[in-house]
Structure 1
């Protein structure tokens, strides 16, 4: 860690900026204040959190971490806000630029072990305890704000270039968004302006780091190109073209970042790339069951993992979200901690992780693609139905129970559920650069998707011997017929293949 954390920023020279050689963006130069944030334990922690969670067990190149992604987002946030200022300098101040860069740098501080595995597959399944309903509602963005506050306070950072408290509020709002009294998130186009950090005249600044309105933000720009690079896939979206043509226009009494009309196909490529990444990597059928197994091991190990927090308090794998000192120590290393433990209490969790590294993961039986996944039915109910769906001719001497099945639902969309995200994008023309409006489908192409969302029901077998797997597949086939779902998109010989 740098010893400069207590040096007033006004005494730092521009020579204190540092240059990073990034494999994606090339030369990345960051301001002194951002370097001071990077040189803290809270930020360095991101070196040990995989960007793509369990995908590294499927894709050998997916070893990159949240650390380099966060630096990339800070760089792109600076590129976009500086490009906008170059075209419309009256809209953006030096403090605006610095705050946007800091928000980009710190937007992922709150990720837990294996990134989204922790906040989407582990924390929601932790039984209610001393934290009550917080477990079911907690998101990593909330922890990012708490970790940012902890980072500034515990390292005694001097924020001389910022105006307090509004700039701090602005950074927090860009990371997490303002809280709605009813529990949701308010949008920047709300009737009552919801932000404290900036007035509605600066509404477009809230669309740079994490854009809740249409999903076009520098966070995606970085992870699309970075993930594709490490996964060995093609990225059809050109974020530099978007930055080149982006400008601010006022639409319906709010200032938005708008794009040139000819760039609409580039933006459709962006959302298509998102869909492809989910299909081929993020929700790859083997990746998801491995992440499920890791989350299952975490649940079994939860109470037996002790992490020292503030004032000597001991936290568990889940309750660390309430104590940022303990959370700072929580990284992907917990996987090896469990795997190499000789503790009797961790034996069950260890056995699950041993199956992962031995490639003995739960076996994929197949997937079905119903027109609509039933609502109000739990995965537990489906697993019970699968066990009860005895095929004609019997089980071949194999007895299957609910515990032998795992059901997961994979959702694929363009980022706005079943809606076309381009409906929330405004476009200007070369002749009228200060006037923007939505673009209609018939102005784009007749080849656009008609459906923007679908869900697959995937079924796995915990037992991996051939006889049990074949019996489980027959149960799955029978269950699909009983539910009126399409037949599984697998045949028995494919089911018996061990490696994907």
Structure 2
């Protein structure tokens, strides 16, 4: 609806349609004329009359009247179990309704933790929608309370899209893929799911031809694509990190916008707000952190010549609760010994055997090229097809090469899990170079009394560092 357009979006649309000369667009910007002013104020109103003559105004109105009705910004309502009934922008809905985003329905949020906590059945799909919603809540709150920040509708939409798409690059079983499987199968590869999220976002936009839709909603792709990707994965140019301002999507004046989805400064961001609330909800663990209260007391302040998102000093107790919730989730759920055992059983045998028998599990990517589970992230078309379903593919496969892998998965199904022998923490900082040497050290150690009658080997142990 052009009545809702701010000055920047109005001028961008007119320039794209070839309406108005540069002088008119400059006057519109300088006077802060909005879509509502042009459409609802009479021609004699001083706000309009001093900016454009009657002929120019008629030309602008004719351009706006040609907008197709189906592109009116009608928000869609989602019923979320954590946040309740939430409104999602139609551009975000278009992104959600793509194969690349729908893939997140089939990737568990907590990976192997689901085998320990029966309620942890939620997926990356609903978490991503929640982060997109909370990102919009925070940036709108800042816009309403501090209009001097100059937050535009473009900024809001870009932040929401970044929140929605920040986890597009997760592999099967979420962090087990990038935290365990990739380091084991491709130890020389420096790969992060954030990098894959940026590539998957690019693939999502181009393969679904959403560029024109994004332009229709006022986005300037030359700037906003950079801005969205930088919020997800950091500066596009790694060498730019050495500069005083490494980002290209937005200027230093809007540095605070980069602290909403993934806050590299202090870790307080809407991604954590959602997964704390969502994981606690599904795990049955209390969550005493109140993000809604934090929203009320959040402001942008200038600290050392740069604008940051800050909060009132009296909210320190609420922030303590946030970090306490994180600690509690890690101790009680994320690092649960049984969940870790199951993930290790899945990785060290099924996925390792699968890696050796890659040729039996072909994933077709762009141009018909064949990829495997350990290489699928090199092609986003192939990676789109890689989800948690790999577990059942291994379990129900008939290839003799995967018999060992199938048997391990059957043990998980029958709850015949490896036993937890113990854990230790080094008293001083120690760098671990070879995990295999730790297993050998344990196997070769002799108990002080009652030595066992069996001979233990390094392959009888799994050491998780």
TM-score, length-normalised on structure 1?
Answer: 0.76
Structure in which a larger fraction of residues adopt strand: 1
Paired residues, number = 391
Q: CA deviation at 1:80?
A: 0.3
Tell me how far apart the structure 2 counterparts of residues 87 and 344 of structure 1 sit (CA, whole Å).
64
The residue correspondences of 1:286-297 to structure 2 (distance < 5 A) are: 286-296=338-348, 297=350
Q: Give per-residue Cα distances to partners, 1:102-154, cap 9 Å, x unaligned.
A: 000000000000000001100111146xxxx4x3x100000000000000011
SS in 2 for 1:256: strand
2:147 aligns with one of 82, 89, 94 = 89
Q: 2:173 aligns with which of 89, 93, 114?
A: 114
Q: Partner of 1:238 in structure 2?
A: 290
Alignment of 1:43-442 (within 5 A): 43-91=101-149, 92-127=151-186, 133=188, 135=189, 137-157=190-210, 158-160=213-215, 161-179=218-236, 181=238, 186=241, 192-296=244-348, 297-302=350-355, 303=358, 304-372=360-428, 374-393=430-449, 395-409=451-465
Contact 1:14 1:31 in 2 (8 A): no
- Asked if structure 2 preserves the Cα contact closer than 8 Å seen for 1:48 and 1:331, the reply is yes
Equivalent pair of 2:73/2:89 in contact (CA under 8 Å): no
Q: Which structure dedicates a bigger proportion of its chain to helix?
A: 2
**Per-residue displacement from partner, 1:242-276 (whole Å, max 9, x unpaired)?**
11110111110100000001001111111111111
Q: Is the 1:339–1:350 Cα contact (8 Å) retained in structure 2? A: yes
- How far does the alpha carbon of each residue in 1:272-327 deviate from its partner, in whole angstroms, 9 at most, with x for none? 11111111111111111111111221121022421011111110001000010010
Distance in 2 between residues matched to 1:393 and 1:367, nearest whole Å: 21
Distance 1:96 1:9 in 2: 22
Using CA pairs under 8 Å that are at least 6 residues apart, name the structure with larger relative contact order, 1 or 2: 1
Which blocks of at least 5 consecutive residues in structure 1 are unaligned? 1-7, 410-500
Contact 1:224 1:235 in 2 (8 A): yes
**Correspondent of 2:98 among 22, 40, 60:** 40
Contact 1:12–1:32 (CA<8 Å) still a contact in 2? no
Please say which of residues 227-236 and 394-403 is displaced more in the overlay.
394-403
How many Å apart are 1:393 and its aligned residue?
Answer: 3.9
Structure 1 residue 15 displacement after superposition: 6.1
